[in-house]
Amino acid sequence: MNQWDVVIVGAGAAGLFCAGQAGQLGLKVLLLDHSEKVAEKIRISGGGRCNFTNRLLDPSAPQKHFIGQNPHFCRSALSRYTPQDFLALVQKHGIAFHEKHKGQLFCDDSAEDIIRMLLAECAAGGVTRWQPCGVQAVRHQAGVYELDTSRGTVRTQALVVATGGLSIPKIGATGWGYALASQFGLRLVERRPGLVPLTFDGAAWEPYAQLAGLALPVGIETGEKKNRMHFDEDLLFTHRGLSGPAVLQISSYWKDGTPLHLNLAPEVDLPARLQEAKRRSRKLLANELASWVPSRLADAWVGQDPALQRNAADVPDKALAQLAQALSHWGLTPTGSEGYKKAEVTLGGVDTRDVSSQTMESKQAGLYFIGEVLDVTGWLGGYNFQWAWASAHACALACAQACAQVSKPALAAKHTA
Protein backbone atom coordinates (compact mmCIF):
# COMPACT_ATOMS: atom_id res chain seq x y z
CA MET A 1 0.00 0.00 0.00
CA ASN A 2 1.35 3.46 -0.96
CA GLN A 3 2.42 5.52 2.07
CA TRP A 4 2.97 9.29 1.75
CA ASP A 5 3.80 12.13 4.12
CA VAL A 6 1.24 14.35 2.38
CA VAL A 7 -1.49 13.63 -0.15
CA ILE A 8 -2.90 16.69 -1.91
CA VAL A 9 -6.16 16.42 -3.84
CA GLY A 10 -6.50 19.07 -6.54
CA ALA A 11 -3.80 20.13 -9.02
CA GLY A 12 -4.84 23.75 -9.40
CA ALA A 13 -3.05 26.86 -8.20
CA ALA A 14 -3.18 26.09 -4.46
CA GLY A 15 -2.54 22.35 -4.82
CA LEU A 16 0.45 22.72 -7.14
CA PHE A 17 2.06 25.40 -5.03
CA CYS A 18 1.52 23.50 -1.79
CA ALA A 19 2.95 20.33 -3.32
CA GLY A 20 6.09 22.07 -4.51
CA GLN A 21 6.63 23.84 -1.20
CA ALA A 22 6.03 20.70 0.88
CA GLY A 23 8.28 18.59 -1.34
CA GLN A 24 11.10 21.09 -1.04
CA LEU A 25 10.71 20.95 2.74
CA GLY A 26 11.62 17.27 2.56
CA LEU A 27 8.20 15.64 2.52
CA LYS A 28 7.15 12.73 0.33
CA VAL A 29 4.23 14.27 -1.56
CA LEU A 30 1.53 12.79 -3.78
CA LEU A 31 -0.54 15.23 -5.81
CA LEU A 32 -3.59 13.88 -7.61
CA ASP A 33 -6.47 15.26 -9.65
CA HIS A 34 -9.41 13.72 -11.50
CA SER A 35 -8.68 15.82 -14.60
CA GLU A 36 -6.09 15.05 -17.24
CA LYS A 37 -4.95 18.66 -17.55
CA VAL A 38 -3.23 20.56 -14.80
CA ALA A 39 -4.23 24.05 -13.56
CA GLU A 40 -6.90 24.80 -16.14
CA LYS A 41 -8.13 27.80 -14.16
CA ILE A 42 -4.66 29.35 -14.32
CA ARG A 43 -4.52 28.63 -18.05
CA ILE A 44 -7.71 30.56 -18.85
CA SER A 45 -7.30 33.36 -16.31
CA GLY A 46 -6.53 36.95 -17.20
CA GLY A 47 -7.36 36.44 -20.85
CA GLY A 48 -4.74 33.71 -21.01
CA ARG A 49 -2.05 35.79 -19.29
CA CYS A 50 -2.88 35.01 -15.64
CA ASN A 51 -3.35 37.91 -13.25
CA PHE A 52 -1.18 36.05 -10.73
CA THR A 53 -1.21 38.53 -7.83
CA ASN A 54 -1.90 42.13 -6.86
CA ARG A 55 0.90 44.38 -5.72
CA LEU A 56 -1.48 46.63 -3.72
CA LEU A 57 -2.67 43.94 -1.32
CA ASP A 58 -2.16 45.16 2.25
CA PRO A 59 -1.30 42.10 4.37
CA SER A 60 -2.01 44.07 7.55
CA ALA A 61 -5.61 44.63 6.46
CA PRO A 62 -6.47 41.94 3.89
CA GLN A 63 -10.14 41.99 4.84
CA LYS A 64 -10.43 45.06 2.61
CA HIS A 65 -9.98 42.80 -0.42
CA PHE A 66 -11.59 39.57 0.81
CA ILE A 67 -15.10 38.35 1.53
CA GLY A 68 -16.25 35.64 3.92
CA GLN A 69 -18.07 35.24 7.21
CA ASN A 70 -14.72 35.96 8.90
CA PRO A 71 -12.62 38.07 6.50
CA HIS A 72 -9.91 38.38 9.18
CA PHE A 73 -9.23 34.65 8.81
CA CYS A 74 -6.96 35.24 5.81
CA ARG A 75 -4.77 37.82 7.57
CA SER A 76 -2.22 35.39 9.01
CA ALA A 77 -1.43 33.48 5.83
CA LEU A 78 -1.41 36.58 3.63
CA SER A 79 0.93 38.43 5.96
CA ARG A 80 3.38 35.52 5.98
CA TYR A 81 3.44 35.00 2.22
CA THR A 82 3.01 38.29 0.37
CA PRO A 83 2.68 39.33 -3.27
CA GLN A 84 6.34 40.32 -3.10
CA ASP A 85 7.25 36.77 -2.07
CA PHE A 86 5.45 35.27 -5.05
CA LEU A 87 6.84 37.93 -7.35
CA ALA A 88 10.36 36.96 -6.26
CA LEU A 89 9.60 33.39 -7.34
CA VAL A 90 8.26 34.59 -10.69
CA GLN A 91 11.45 36.60 -11.23
CA LYS A 92 13.62 33.67 -10.17
CA HIS A 93 12.06 31.66 -12.99
CA GLY A 94 12.66 34.48 -15.47
CA ILE A 95 9.00 35.12 -16.21
CA ALA A 96 8.36 38.52 -17.80
CA PHE A 97 5.39 40.37 -16.37
CA HIS A 98 3.69 43.75 -16.40
CA GLU A 99 1.39 45.75 -14.15
CA LYS A 100 -2.03 46.92 -15.23
CA HIS A 101 -4.19 49.35 -13.30
CA LYS A 102 -4.75 48.97 -9.56
CA GLY A 103 -1.71 46.78 -8.89
CA GLN A 104 -2.72 43.84 -11.11
CA LEU A 105 0.28 41.80 -12.30
CA PHE A 106 0.07 39.72 -15.51
CA CYS A 107 2.46 37.54 -17.49
CA ASP A 108 3.78 39.27 -20.60
CA ASP A 109 3.51 36.10 -22.65
CA SER A 110 1.19 33.41 -21.32
CA ALA A 111 -0.39 31.87 -18.24
CA GLU A 112 1.50 28.75 -19.28
CA ASP A 113 4.61 30.42 -17.81
CA ILE A 114 3.08 30.24 -14.32
CA ILE A 115 2.00 26.61 -14.84
CA ARG A 116 5.49 25.64 -15.99
CA MET A 117 6.95 27.41 -12.96
CA LEU A 118 4.68 25.53 -10.55
CA LEU A 119 5.47 22.21 -12.21
CA ALA A 120 9.19 23.01 -11.99
CA GLU A 121 8.77 23.74 -8.28
CA CYS A 122 7.03 20.38 -7.87
CA ALA A 123 9.84 18.64 -9.74
CA ALA A 124 12.38 20.34 -7.48
CA GLY A 125 10.51 18.89 -4.51
CA GLY A 126 10.30 15.39 -5.97
CA VAL A 127 6.51 15.51 -6.04
CA THR A 128 4.67 12.53 -7.55
CA ARG A 129 1.66 13.57 -9.61
CA TRP A 130 -1.18 11.25 -10.66
CA GLN A 131 -3.47 12.56 -13.38
CA PRO A 132 -6.13 11.63 -14.13
CA CYS A 133 -6.84 9.97 -10.81
CA GLY A 134 -10.20 9.98 -9.10
CA VAL A 135 -10.83 9.42 -5.38
CA GLN A 136 -13.67 7.01 -4.63
CA ALA A 137 -13.54 6.98 -0.82
CA VAL A 138 -11.65 8.43 2.15
CA ARG A 139 -11.35 6.76 5.56
CA HIS A 140 -9.62 7.85 8.75
CA GLN A 141 -8.52 5.63 11.59
CA ALA A 142 -5.67 5.62 14.10
CA GLY A 143 -4.42 8.96 12.81
CA VAL A 144 -4.07 7.76 9.21
CA TYR A 145 -6.12 8.62 6.11
CA GLU A 146 -6.75 5.95 3.51
CA LEU A 147 -7.84 7.05 0.04
CA ASP A 148 -9.25 4.61 -2.47
CA THR A 149 -8.18 6.04 -5.82
CA SER A 150 -8.43 4.88 -9.42
CA ARG A 151 -4.72 4.01 -9.15
CA GLY A 152 -4.95 2.11 -5.91
CA THR A 153 -5.23 2.80 -2.18
CA VAL A 154 -2.87 5.34 -0.60
CA ARG A 155 -2.21 6.22 3.05
CA THR A 156 -1.11 9.47 4.69
CA GLN A 157 -1.19 11.34 7.98
CA ALA A 158 -1.75 14.67 6.21
CA LEU A 159 -4.53 15.06 3.65
CA VAL A 160 -4.76 18.44 1.90
CA VAL A 161 -7.92 19.42 0.02
CA ALA A 162 -7.23 21.91 -2.77
CA THR A 163 -10.17 21.08 -5.02
CA GLY A 164 -11.46 24.62 -5.53
CA GLY A 165 -15.10 25.56 -5.82
CA LEU A 166 -18.01 25.04 -8.20
CA SER A 167 -17.13 27.74 -10.73
CA ILE A 168 -16.54 26.82 -14.38
CA PRO A 169 -17.61 23.16 -14.28
CA LYS A 170 -16.53 22.63 -17.91
CA ILE A 171 -12.90 22.61 -16.74
CA GLY A 172 -13.56 20.05 -14.03
CA ALA A 173 -14.96 21.91 -11.01
CA THR A 174 -16.90 19.71 -8.58
CA GLY A 175 -18.18 19.82 -5.02
CA TRP A 176 -15.87 17.01 -3.86
CA GLY A 177 -14.08 19.13 -1.27
CA TYR A 178 -17.35 20.23 0.31
CA ALA A 179 -18.60 16.66 0.47
CA LEU A 180 -15.40 15.55 2.19
CA ALA A 181 -15.66 18.37 4.71
CA SER A 182 -19.22 17.29 5.51
CA GLN A 183 -18.12 13.66 5.82
CA PHE A 184 -15.82 14.67 8.67
CA GLY A 185 -18.35 16.91 10.39
CA LEU A 186 -17.05 20.30 9.29
CA ARG A 187 -19.49 23.14 8.75
CA LEU A 188 -20.13 24.70 5.36
CA VAL A 189 -21.12 28.25 4.41
CA GLU A 190 -23.75 28.44 1.67
CA ARG A 191 -22.16 28.57 -1.76
CA ARG A 192 -23.08 30.85 -4.65
CA PRO A 193 -21.38 32.18 -7.78
CA GLY A 194 -18.99 35.11 -7.30
CA LEU A 195 -17.27 37.50 -9.74
CA VAL A 196 -20.06 36.69 -12.17
CA PRO A 197 -22.05 38.62 -14.84
CA LEU A 198 -25.55 39.63 -13.79
CA THR A 199 -28.67 39.10 -15.88
CA PHE A 200 -31.97 40.92 -16.45
CA ASP A 201 -35.08 39.32 -17.89
CA GLY A 202 -38.12 40.57 -19.76
CA ALA A 203 -39.11 43.69 -21.63
CA ALA A 204 -37.38 45.95 -19.12
CA TRP A 205 -34.00 44.97 -20.54
CA GLU A 206 -35.01 45.19 -24.20
CA PRO A 207 -33.87 48.82 -24.76
CA TYR A 208 -30.39 47.92 -23.51
CA ALA A 209 -29.88 44.52 -25.20
CA GLN A 210 -28.92 46.42 -28.38
CA LEU A 211 -25.94 47.82 -26.45
CA ALA A 212 -24.24 44.41 -26.19
CA GLY A 213 -20.49 44.85 -26.53
CA LEU A 214 -20.48 48.45 -25.32
CA ALA A 215 -18.00 49.21 -22.52
CA LEU A 216 -17.60 52.37 -20.45
CA PRO A 217 -16.21 53.46 -17.06
CA VAL A 218 -18.85 53.69 -14.33
CA GLY A 219 -19.37 53.97 -10.63
CA ILE A 220 -21.40 51.04 -9.27
CA GLU A 221 -22.73 50.26 -5.80
CA THR A 222 -25.12 48.06 -3.87
CA GLY A 223 -26.19 47.41 -0.30
CA GLU A 224 -27.58 49.44 2.57
CA LYS A 225 -25.79 52.53 3.85
CA LYS A 226 -23.73 50.80 6.54
CA ASN A 227 -22.67 47.94 4.27
CA ARG A 228 -22.72 49.80 0.98
CA MET A 229 -20.03 48.74 -1.49
CA HIS A 230 -18.82 50.99 -4.30
CA PHE A 231 -16.44 50.30 -7.19
CA ASP A 232 -15.15 52.50 -9.99
CA GLU A 233 -14.49 50.14 -12.88
CA ASP A 234 -15.46 49.42 -16.49
CA LEU A 235 -18.96 48.18 -17.32
CA LEU A 236 -19.79 45.89 -20.25
CA PHE A 237 -23.29 45.50 -21.70
CA THR A 238 -24.24 41.98 -22.83
CA HIS A 239 -27.30 40.57 -24.59
CA ARG A 240 -28.58 39.20 -21.27
CA GLY A 241 -27.38 41.85 -18.82
CA LEU A 242 -24.23 43.45 -17.49
CA SER A 243 -20.65 42.29 -17.09
CA GLY A 244 -17.16 43.77 -17.03
CA PRO A 245 -14.96 44.40 -13.99
CA ALA A 246 -17.52 46.72 -12.36
CA VAL A 247 -20.26 44.09 -12.32
CA LEU A 248 -17.96 41.18 -11.51
CA GLN A 249 -16.72 43.07 -8.45
CA ILE A 250 -20.14 44.12 -7.22
CA SER A 251 -21.66 40.67 -7.89
CA SER A 252 -19.84 39.23 -4.88
CA TYR A 253 -21.73 41.70 -2.66
CA TRP A 254 -25.04 41.73 -4.50
CA LYS A 255 -27.95 39.84 -2.95
CA ASP A 256 -31.05 38.54 -4.74
CA GLY A 257 -33.81 41.11 -5.01
CA THR A 258 -31.64 44.12 -4.17
CA PRO A 259 -30.92 46.92 -6.65
CA LEU A 260 -27.71 48.16 -8.17
CA HIS A 261 -27.02 51.86 -8.60
CA LEU A 262 -24.82 53.02 -11.45
CA ASN A 263 -23.34 56.35 -12.45
CA LEU A 264 -22.86 56.10 -16.21
CA ALA A 265 -20.94 59.40 -16.40
CA PRO A 266 -18.91 59.45 -13.17
CA GLU A 267 -16.50 62.16 -14.29
CA VAL A 268 -19.18 64.58 -15.52
CA ASP A 269 -21.49 67.06 -13.80
CA LEU A 270 -24.41 66.16 -16.05
CA PRO A 271 -27.00 68.67 -14.74
CA ALA A 272 -24.59 71.54 -15.39
CA ARG A 273 -23.43 70.24 -18.78
CA LEU A 274 -26.96 69.61 -20.03
CA GLN A 275 -28.12 73.08 -18.99
CA GLU A 276 -25.09 74.58 -20.73
CA ALA A 277 -25.91 72.60 -23.89
CA LYS A 278 -29.47 73.92 -23.79
CA ARG A 279 -28.22 77.51 -23.67
CA ARG A 280 -25.69 77.30 -26.50
CA SER A 281 -26.42 74.31 -28.75
CA ARG A 282 -28.51 73.82 -31.85
CA LYS A 283 -27.66 70.10 -32.01
CA LEU A 284 -29.95 67.22 -31.17
CA LEU A 285 -29.77 66.36 -27.48
CA ALA A 286 -28.54 62.84 -28.33
CA ASN A 287 -25.55 64.36 -30.15
CA GLU A 288 -24.70 66.58 -27.19
CA LEU A 289 -25.08 63.67 -24.76
CA ALA A 290 -22.64 61.66 -26.88
CA SER A 291 -19.91 64.08 -25.76
CA TRP A 292 -20.01 62.54 -22.28
CA VAL A 293 -21.24 58.97 -22.76
CA PRO A 294 -20.85 56.58 -25.73
CA SER A 295 -23.09 57.54 -28.65
CA ARG A 296 -24.86 54.16 -28.66
CA LEU A 297 -25.79 54.67 -25.03
CA ALA A 298 -26.94 58.25 -25.71
CA ASP A 299 -29.16 57.10 -28.59
CA ALA A 300 -30.65 54.23 -26.57
CA TRP A 301 -31.44 56.47 -23.63
CA VAL A 302 -32.92 59.35 -25.62
CA GLY A 303 -34.89 56.88 -27.75
CA GLN A 304 -36.98 55.89 -24.73
CA ASP A 305 -38.45 59.39 -24.17
CA PRO A 306 -40.03 61.52 -26.94
CA ALA A 307 -39.42 64.66 -24.84
CA LEU A 308 -35.69 64.16 -25.36
CA GLN A 309 -35.82 63.53 -29.11
CA ARG A 310 -35.30 67.12 -30.18
CA ASN A 311 -32.68 69.86 -30.23
CA ALA A 312 -31.03 70.40 -26.85
CA ALA A 313 -32.33 73.97 -26.76
CA ASP A 314 -35.92 72.76 -27.00
CA VAL A 315 -35.84 70.11 -24.25
CA PRO A 316 -37.77 71.14 -21.11
CA ASP A 317 -35.68 71.77 -17.98
CA LYS A 318 -37.57 69.07 -16.10
CA ALA A 319 -36.76 66.47 -18.78
CA LEU A 320 -33.08 67.45 -18.70
CA ALA A 321 -32.99 67.13 -14.91
CA GLN A 322 -34.66 63.73 -15.10
CA LEU A 323 -32.16 62.61 -17.75
CA ALA A 324 -29.20 63.70 -15.62
CA GLN A 325 -30.65 61.92 -12.60
CA ALA A 326 -31.33 58.73 -14.58
CA LEU A 327 -27.81 58.53 -16.02
CA SER A 328 -25.98 59.34 -12.81
CA HIS A 329 -28.25 57.31 -10.50
CA TRP A 330 -29.44 54.44 -12.69
CA GLY A 331 -31.19 52.00 -10.40
CA LEU A 332 -31.94 48.49 -11.62
CA THR A 333 -32.45 45.10 -10.02
CA PRO A 334 -30.86 42.01 -11.58
CA THR A 335 -33.04 38.93 -11.83
CA GLY A 336 -30.09 36.58 -11.48
CA SER A 337 -26.58 35.81 -12.65
CA GLU A 338 -24.89 33.73 -15.34
CA GLY A 339 -24.23 31.13 -12.63
CA TYR A 340 -21.24 28.90 -12.06
CA LYS A 341 -20.63 28.42 -15.78
CA LYS A 342 -19.40 32.04 -16.01
CA ALA A 343 -18.43 32.71 -12.38
CA GLU A 344 -14.71 33.18 -11.74
CA VAL A 345 -14.99 32.04 -8.12
CA THR A 346 -17.32 30.40 -5.60
CA LEU A 347 -18.47 32.40 -2.59
CA GLY A 348 -18.84 30.45 0.65
CA GLY A 349 -17.32 27.03 1.26
CA VAL A 350 -15.70 25.29 4.21
CA ASP A 351 -16.46 27.33 7.32
CA THR A 352 -13.28 29.00 8.57
CA ARG A 353 -14.46 28.59 12.17
CA ASP A 354 -13.48 24.94 11.75
CA VAL A 355 -10.01 25.68 10.30
CA SER A 356 -6.82 27.12 11.81
CA SER A 357 -5.82 30.42 10.21
CA GLN A 358 -2.18 29.61 11.04
CA THR A 359 -1.92 26.12 9.54
CA MET A 360 -5.05 25.53 7.42
CA GLU A 361 -5.62 22.34 9.44
CA SER A 362 -9.25 21.67 10.23
CA LYS A 363 -10.72 20.48 13.51
CA GLN A 364 -10.43 17.03 11.97
CA ALA A 365 -6.76 16.32 12.79
CA GLY A 366 -4.52 15.95 9.75
CA LEU A 367 -7.13 17.27 7.31
CA TYR A 368 -6.21 20.58 5.66
CA PHE A 369 -8.11 22.92 3.33
CA ILE A 370 -6.50 25.56 1.09
CA GLY A 371 -7.53 27.95 -1.66
CA GLU A 372 -11.02 28.49 -3.01
CA VAL A 373 -12.64 25.54 -1.22
CA LEU A 374 -12.56 27.67 1.95
CA ASP A 375 -14.99 30.49 2.72
CA VAL A 376 -12.45 33.07 1.55
CA THR A 377 -13.10 35.01 -1.66
CA GLY A 378 -10.95 37.82 -3.01
CA TRP A 379 -11.76 40.76 -5.21
CA LEU A 380 -11.13 40.65 -8.93
CA GLY A 381 -7.55 41.50 -9.81
CA GLY A 382 -5.20 38.76 -8.62
CA TYR A 383 -6.36 38.54 -5.02
CA ASN A 384 -7.74 35.00 -5.30
CA PHE A 385 -4.48 33.68 -6.71
CA GLN A 386 -2.59 35.37 -3.89
CA TRP A 387 -4.87 33.58 -1.42
CA ALA A 388 -4.07 30.30 -3.18
CA TRP A 389 -0.31 30.91 -2.82
CA ALA A 390 -0.51 32.14 0.78
CA SER A 391 -2.82 29.43 2.11
CA ALA A 392 -0.76 26.76 0.32
CA HIS A 393 2.46 28.12 1.81
CA ALA A 394 1.02 28.14 5.34
CA CYS A 395 -0.24 24.58 4.87
CA ALA A 396 3.08 23.27 3.54
CA LEU A 397 4.96 24.69 6.51
CA ALA A 398 2.44 23.20 8.91
CA CYS A 399 2.61 19.76 7.28
CA ALA A 400 6.39 19.81 7.44
CA GLN A 401 6.35 20.74 11.09
CA ALA A 402 3.72 18.10 11.85
CA CYS A 403 5.75 15.43 10.08
CA ALA A 404 8.83 16.57 12.03
CA GLN A 405 11.04 16.09 8.98
CA VAL A 406 12.34 19.64 8.85
CA SER A 407 14.31 21.28 11.64
CA LYS A 408 12.98 24.45 13.22
CA PRO A 409 15.87 26.55 11.80
CA ALA A 410 15.09 25.24 8.30
CA LEU A 411 11.42 26.01 8.74
CA ALA A 412 12.25 29.49 9.95
CA ALA A 413 14.49 30.06 6.93
CA LYS A 414 11.76 28.88 4.56
CA HIS A 415 9.22 31.00 6.38
CA THR A 416 11.22 34.18 5.84
CA ALA A 417 12.49 33.37 2.34
Identify the pLDDT of residue 32.
98
Tell me how crowded residue 141 is: count the other CB atoms within 10 A of its CB: 7
**CA–CA gap between residue 40 and residue 159 (Å, rounded):** 22
Identify the pLDDT of residue 409.
46
pTM for this prediction: 0.93
Identify the pLDDT of residue 88.
98
Identify the pLDDT of residue 1.
59
Identify the pLDDT of residue 226.
82
The answer to whether residues 63 and 86 touch, using CB atoms and an 8 Å cutoff, is: no
Which among 222, 409, 232 is positioned nearest to 334, based on CA atoms? Answer: 222
Residues in Cβ contact with 198 at an 8 Å cutoff, skipping those fewer than 6 apart: 241, 242, 243, 247, 251, 254, 260, 334, 336, 337, 338
Identify the pLDDT of residue 204.
80
Identify the pLDDT of residue 407.
40
Q: Which CATH class is domain 198-337?
A: mainly beta
The number of residues in the chain equals 417
**Intra-chain end-to-end CA distance of the chain, in Å:** 36
Residues of the chain with pLDDT under 70: 1, 405-417
Identify the pLDDT of residue 60.
85
Identify the pLDDT of residue 405.
46
**pLDDT tens profile 16-52:** 999 999 999 999 999 999 999 999 999 999 999 999 9
Please give the distance of CA 322 from its chain centroid, rounded to a whole number: 37
Beta bridge partners of 156: 4, 145
**pLDDT tens profile 370-398:** 999 999 999 999 999 999 999 999 999 99
Domain boundaries, given as residue ranges, for the chain: 2-192+346-416, 198-337
**CA–CA gap between residue 29 and residue 406 (Å, rounded):** 14
**CA–CA gap between residue 140 and residue 116 (Å, rounded):** 34
**CA–CA gap between residue 142 and residue 163 (Å, rounded):** 25
**pLDDT tens profile 329-382:** 999 999 999 999 999 999 999 999 999 999 999 999 999 999 999 999 999 999
Please check whether the domain covering 2-192+346-416 is classified as CATH 3.10.580.10: no
**CA–CA gap between residue 113 and residue 318 (Å, rounded):** 57
Identify the pLDDT of residue 62.
86
